[in-house]
Amino acid sequence: MGGMQRSGSSEIMAGSSIAARFKGGGIAETLRFGMRDWTVVGILDAGATGFSSEIWGDAIQLMQAFRRPAYSSLTFRLRDSAAFATVKAKLDADPHLTIDVRREITYYRDQSEVMAKFLRILGLSLTIIFSIGAIIGAMITMYAAVANRVGEIGTLRALGFQSSSVLTAFLLESVLLGLIGGVSGLVCASFMQLITVSTMNSQTFSELAFSFTLTFDIAWKALLFSVIMGLIGGVIPAIRASRLKIVAALREH
């Protein structure tokens, strides 16, 4: 959308993510950075790639604005991607060049490595904390269920049901509650796919944007985890229910 920037001018092309989320990123609007005003003459839409979060302009003008004496990175495309190893070996062996040759996907992965590690640690910590809370909640719920069904438990035992049957019934109920909770959580989590989160890359001081994706692999693992939490939370109340004496249970009824 729009046109290319002119060489030697303060015209720029903004990525579609920049245009959508930053004021002044639209066509004919102005962005200010590097102590200068830059006019947006085009929008760059590169899909779900890093280029959609970039701003393109005249290299010499941008280097002067940021007082950069040399290029910090260079992106080029090979005619044959299979020749990457050969090209890398030649560039690494050239004594006139001091560059680190990497594939584009590796470059972006390395840039986001610190943030990804932080998010993994944060996610694991929150998972542990909320899991403990969920197990305690399931245990309280099942204890209440046992307390409200003492008479029913006594009746079932008097009719000939074994304690193992009572244990199994309460464990299945606990697992079912965990499964319902897991399905409800997945439904709510699916709306997170509509949200894009952006932050600053601490290594390059560039924008790092990411979104959430709910896959089948994540879904079944989350459901399995919720079932396990329900099972753990229901074990102790189910054992208590199975050990109730028939006479005592009927008397409370």
pLDDT at 129: 92
Q: How far apart are CA 63 and CA 39, in angstroms?
A: 17
Q: Which amino acid is at 239?
A: I
DSSP 9: S
Mean pLDDT of the chain: 82
Is 92 contained in some domain? Answer: no
- Residues 140 and 237 reside in one and the same domain: yes
- Residues 49 and 119 reside in one and the same domain: no
List pLDDT tens digits, range 175-218. 998 899 899 989 988 888 787 776 666 555 566 666 778 888 98
**CA atoms within a 13 Å half-sphere pointing along the CA-CB vector of 31:** 23
Domain finish residue from 23, 50, 72: 72
Is 98 contained in some domain? Answer: no
Instruction: Check residues 20 and 168 and name the one with the higher pLDDT.
Output: 168
Is 242 contained in some domain? Answer: yes
Q: Does residue 224 surpass a pLDDT of 90?
A: yes
Q: How far apart are CA 232 and CA 243, in angstroms?
A: 18
Average pLDDT over residues 3-16: 83
Instruction: Check residues 80 and 204 and name the one with the higher pLDDT.
Output: 80
Is 165 contained in some domain? Answer: yes
Q: How far apart are CA 191 and CA 20, in angstroms?
A: 20
- Residues 139 and 231 reside in one and the same domain: yes
**Residue 206 CB coordination number (10 Å):** 11
Q: How far apart are CA 241 and CA 142, in angstroms?
A: 10
pLDDT at 18: 80
Confidence of residue 250 (pLDDT cuts 50, 70, 90): low
- Residues 44 and 130 reside in one and the same domain: no
Q: Which amino acid is at 44?
A: L
* Torsion sign, CA atoms 36, 37, 43, 45: positive
Is 193 contained in some domain? Answer: yes
- Residue 7: domain span: 1-72
Number of domains making up the chain: 2
Is 85 contained in some domain? Answer: no
Is 88 contained in some domain? Answer: no
- Residues 134 and 244 reside in one and the same domain: yes
List pLDDT tens digits, range 100-125. 888 888 887 777 777 778 888 988 89
- Residues 169 and 248 reside in one and the same domain: yes
Percent of the chain whose predicted confidence (pLDDT) is above 90: 8
- Residues 155 and 217 reside in one and the same domain: yes
DSSP 202: T
Closest CA to 17 of 52, 46, 44: 52
- Residues 139 and 246 reside in one and the same domain: yes
Confidence of residue 248 (pLDDT cuts 50, 70, 90): low
pLDDT at 179: 92
- Residues 67 and 168 reside in one and the same domain: no
